[in-house]
Amino acid sequence: MTRRPTIADLARASGVSVATVDRVLNGRHPVREETARRVYDAAKAIGYHAVGLLRQRVFEDLPQFRLGFLLQKPEQSFYKALAKEIENAALAVTHVRAVPQVDFVASSTPQGIIEKLKVMAARNQAIALVSPDYPAVTAAVEDLRDRGIPVVALLSDFAAGVREAYVGLNNQKVGRTAAWMIAKAAKRPGKVAAFVGSHRFHGHELREIGFRSYFRENAPEFEVLDTMVNLDTPEITHEATLDLLQRHPDVLGFYVCGGGMEGAISAIREERLEGKLLVVVNELTPESRAALADETLLMAISTPASALARESVSLMIGAIDREAASVPGQTFLPFDIYTPENI
């Protein structure tokens, strides 16, 4: 078991005395800003347990920015990791006090999202969220904008022309990359398929469009089957994968455009088809890493969660600091590619 760093460890790491660290922690006597920041940076570096208190002491005179983040599916590994990266990104801001509130939607219905937005808007100055593109959500975002609360779309764009910015991948390129990989890896032309979580997710739609357009333009000898909706759930993806394999036993592979890849992985293993199908998924998680290792998967296209969090925090602070952007922007992050050979 790893020993928890002590105040003496923190003093050594920051190059000051234990008494100085104590003064920073408890605010008993003034400490130079440079020294206090050095102690704070060292606390982050060694994982000191009271880093939150140190941050409060060091940055208590700075303006506070309350940032709300509304994510999907708290049980998914990707969103758990993203929530942690958001906390880290806020801690890394040193010119203001960034205070994040991370929450999750239990239901991706318009009403479920809007109810969460209302609660979050009462406590925060800007909001970033992952959402399907519903007209009712667009109306809610427009109302927030008129109240001076900018909204940033994460991962999948929505409320175009109304939201402050979009931060995520170029999803059409992601879909084309998945198709390129399958086409190049296939030993012969054949049938391929795609799953989307929902056609309301703009990001999934763009990935499907990119997937189909690549085959249409560059590999027309392949047959792209009808797209299947899996609601981003492992259970539906599992059943849909088994159904796909039963209806099309000659299928070469498929692309899971959104969530639910765990179901596809379990179905492939259930049918003992590891290494025999060309399957591409999104995000590197413990599940996809293991599936790459035994060649159940061909490739995982991954969002750099730390960069997504940093860029979102920066954009939200900037939007609070000034008036709304005259032209809502887009920030495309470079995506990571993982194969069985580089995990």
Please give the average per-residue pLDDT across 35-52, as a whole number.
Answer: 84
Q: What is the pLDDT of residue 2?
A: 66
Using the predicted structure, report yes or no on whether residue 48 has a pLDDT greater than 90: no
Please give the average per-residue pLDDT across 96-117, as a whole number.
Answer: 91
pTM: 0.83
Class of the CATH domain delimited by 7-58:
mainly alpha
CATH H-level superfamily of 171-302: Response regulator (3.40.50.2300)
Local confidence band at 95 (pLDDT 50, 70, 90 cut-offs): confident
Tallying the residues shown for the chain, one arrives at 343
Q: CA geometry: angle at 302 spanning 297 and 303, to 5°?
A: 160
Q: What is the pLDDT of residue 328?
A: 65
| Amino acid, single-letter form, for residue 246 | Q
CATH 1.10.260 residue spans of the chain: 7-58
| 194 token code pair | 């795609």
CATH 3.40.50.2300 residue spans of the chain: 64-169+305-333, 171-302
Local confidence band at 29 (pLDDT 50, 70, 90 cut-offs): low
Which has more pLDDT, 20 or 277?
277
Q: What is the pLDDT of residue 133?
A: 95
Q: What is the pLDDT of residue 148?
A: 93
| Amino acid, single-letter form, for residue 336 | D
Q: What is the pLDDT of residue 239?
A: 97
Distances (CA, A) of 207 to 131, 135, 189, 216: 16, 21, 21, 14
Collapsing DSSP to helix, strand or coil, 5 comes out as coil
Pick the CATH number of 64-169+305-333 from 3.40.50.510, 3.40.50.2300, 3.40.50.1370, 3.40.50.1970: 3.40.50.2300
3-state SS, one letter per residue, for 113-133: HHHHHHHHHCCCCEEEECCCC
Q: What is the pLDDT of residue 150?
A: 95
Alpha carbons 238 and 243: distance in angstroms, whole number: 9
Local confidence band at 214 (pLDDT 50, 70, 90 cut-offs): very high
Q: What is the pLDDT of residue 208?
A: 97
Collapsing DSSP to helix, strand or coil, 102 comes out as strand
Q: Mean pLDDT, the chain, as a whole number?
A: 92
Alpha carbons 306 and 4: distance in angstroms, whole number: 25
List pLDDT tens digits, range 281-290: 999 999 999 9
- The per-residue DSSP string of 175-218 comes to HHHHHHHHHHH-SS--EEEEEES-TT-HHHHHHHHHHHHHHHHH
Local confidence band at 1 (pLDDT 50, 70, 90 cut-offs): low
